[in-house]
Amino acid sequence: MVTTIPGTLRAFFLPFGYHFRAKGWQVDAMACGVSNCAECLEAFDRVWDIEWSRNPLDPRNLMVAPSRVREIILNNQYDIVHVFTPVAAFVTRYALKELSKQAKLQVIYTALGFHFFKGRKLLKNTIFLTLEKLAARWTDYLVVVNGEDEEAAKRYRFLPPEKICPIPSGIGRNLSRFNPDAVAEAEIREVRQELGIAENNPLFLSVAEFSARKHPQDVLRGFARLARSEAHLAFAGDGPLMEKMEQLATNLGIQNQVHFLGVRRDIPRLMRASTAVILASEQEGLPISVIESLCLETPVIGTDIRGTRDLLAEGCGLLVKVEDIEGLARAMAWILDHPEEARMMGKRGREHMVIYDIKHVLSLHETLYAEALKKVKKS
């Protein structure tokens, strides 16, 4: 299993390691700095450090990493190489293109959201579409996690239809952990006490990296436009824009109502303590924070983009346009002014989350891997 950084493995793919090892597989992982990730060392049989970067322009990505990737794969005679995240997926497929052609292994790429998408500027879309078409030549199976990406993969003929595998439940979540009954009322009170928020004060929550594509400034501006002095807003996450957002909160005069929590390991507690979760991104594949919130019956306000749109269909949440500050404020106001309808919206969301159970997702991958193994020829 290959990702650019170990944080992706730690956040999403540890269950894959444990599950398939329990079935007698050897399951290894590859990422930059993965040997320093204690959870990865426990979940996988072996881990491999690769010198690459999330920055696609880093010269190491094509000058250093491919030869090391090829060496590791050849020496260990893997049957399946499953790649995720843009840089790791492209570089690994480039490194293994000849081996894949010889049917010595099968390369599976899960696209957690193509980097070309509706609404993006034409030049960037053209560049990323061209790269995906190129890398598709070195791919045996393509897994897509939302309707827009599935349609695009088929329209551009990345692979034959039978090699394009829709898994709309994405990478799944542990529904036992993300369960409203698993969070005690005492834990909810603890969260609110930590933040200094009274039990009857509304709390909005955004769980996302502070990066440009997540649009945290829109959440802040929408919250300021809401103009409800009793309401609070919390951000769980960190990233390059965090200091700017703290300053923006001050500039908007809402600094006493906004809480910057940093990286948290108690997301279920935070979500259950919240009135609604907000995600204002311009780009997602299948946003995990939305899945987790719906599993916990917490209403969601999201932007009308692929992935989020799929999850909030059938009345499971509120959708607003990207960068629509007024729309975000109206959605927050609706949540506050219609508490019973918002509660029912959260319950509908939970009912739709059955297919996102990690057990179901692992079962789908068992089927996919079994199909891939039929193609492997060892010399």
Check residue 41 and give its pLDDT.
98
Q: Report pLDDT digits (tens) over 315-357.
A: 999 999 999 999 999 999 999 999 999 999 999 999 989 889 9
Q: Report pLDDT digits (tens) over 210-254.
A: 999 999 999 999 999 999 999 999 999 999 999 999 999 999 999
Check residue 124 and give its pLDDT.
87
Q: Tokens representing 132?
A: 């995906």
The fraction of the chain above a pLDDT of 70, given in percent, is 99
Check residue 103 and give its pLDDT.
65
Q: How confident is the model at residue 117 (pLDDT cuts 50, 70, 90)?
A: confident
Check residue 100 and give its pLDDT.
66
| 239 in Cβ contact with 209 (< 8 Å) | yes
- Long-range contacts of the stretch 43-51 (C-beta < 8 A, 24+): 43/9, 43/13, 43/14, 43/17, 43/18, 44/1, 44/9, 44/17, 45/21, 48/72, 50/88
The stretch 304-316 carries a mean pLDDT of 93
Q: In angstroms, what CA-CA distances link 232 with 55, 235, 263?
A: 35, 10, 18
Confidence check: pLDDT of 294 > 60:
yes
| 142 in Cβ contact with 165 (< 8 Å) | yes
| 222 in Cβ contact with 332 (< 8 Å) | yes
What is the number of other CB atoms lying within 10 angstroms of the CB of residue 18? Answer: 14
What is the number of other CB atoms lying within 10 angstroms of the CB of residue 155? Answer: 8
CA distance 72 to 65: 11
The stretch 26-37 carries a mean pLDDT of 97
Bigger pLDDT: 115 vs 15 = 15
Check residue 99 and give its pLDDT.
78
Confidence check: pLDDT of 63 > 90:
no
Check residue 149 and give its pLDDT.
94
CA distance 137 to 96: 11
The stretch 269-298 carries a mean pLDDT of 96
CA distance 65 to 68: 5
Bigger pLDDT: 168 vs 209 = 209
Check residue 62 and give its pLDDT.
86
Fold match between domain 6-172+358-373 and domain 180-356: yes
Q: How confident is the model at residue 56 (pLDDT cuts 50, 70, 90)?
A: confident
**Residues in Cβ contact with 252 at an 8 Å cutoff, skipping those fewer than 6 apart:** 220, 221, 224
Check residue 201 and give its pLDDT.
96
Q: Tokens representing 248?
A: 């923006």
The fraction of the chain above a pLDDT of 90, given in percent, is 84
Residue found under tokens 């309808």: 341
Residue 114 burial (10 A CB sphere; 0-12, 13-18, 19+): buried
Closest of 294, 254, 264 to residue 190, by C-alpha:
264
Q: Tokens representing 277?
A: 């979760």
Check residue 364 and give its pLDDT.
96
Confidence check: pLDDT of 365 > 80:
yes
For residue 332, give the amino acid letter: M
Q: Does domain 180-356 have CATH number 3.40.50.360?
A: no
Q: In angstroms, what CA-CA distances link 355 with 133, 167, 168, 327?
A: 30, 10, 8, 30
DSSP for residue 284:
-
Confidence check: pLDDT of 378 > 80:
no
Check residue 256 and give its pLDDT.
97
Check residue 228 and give its pLDDT.
96
CA distance 109 to 368: 12
Q: Tokens representing 149?
A: 């990406």
CA distance 251 to 142: 46
Q: Which fold has domain 6-172+358-373?
A: Rossmann fold (3.40.50)
Check residue 297 and give its pLDDT.
96
What is the number of other CB atoms lying within 10 angstroms of the CB of residue 264? Answer: 15
Write down the mean pLDDT value for the chain: 94
Check residue 193 and give its pLDDT.
95
**Residues in Cβ contact with 293 at an 8 Å cutoff, skipping those fewer than 6 apart:** 207, 271, 277, 299, 300, 349
| 149 in Cβ contact with 285 (< 8 Å) | yes
Closest of 114, 274, 365 to residue 261, by C-alpha:
274
Q: Comparing 60-69, 70-79, 274-283, which segment has the lowest mean pLDDT?
A: 60-69
**Residues in Cβ contact with 341 at an 8 Å cutoff, skipping those fewer than 6 apart:** none
The stretch 287-295 carries a mean pLDDT of 95
Domain chopping of the chain, boundaries: 6-172+358-373, 180-356
End-to-end CA distance of the chain: 23
Closest of 366, 355, 375 to residue 23, by C-alpha:
366
Q: How confident is the model at residue 271 (pLDDT cuts 50, 70, 90)?
A: very high
Q: Comparing 66-75, 99-108, 277-286, 329-338, which segment has the lowest mean pLDDT?
A: 99-108
Q: Alpha-carbon Rg of the chain, whole angstroms?
A: 21
Residue found under tokens 């793919």: 13
For the chain, where are the E strands, in sequence order? 29-31, 47-49, 80-83, 106-111, 141-144, 164-166, 203-207, 232-236, 258-262, 276-279, 300-303, 318-320
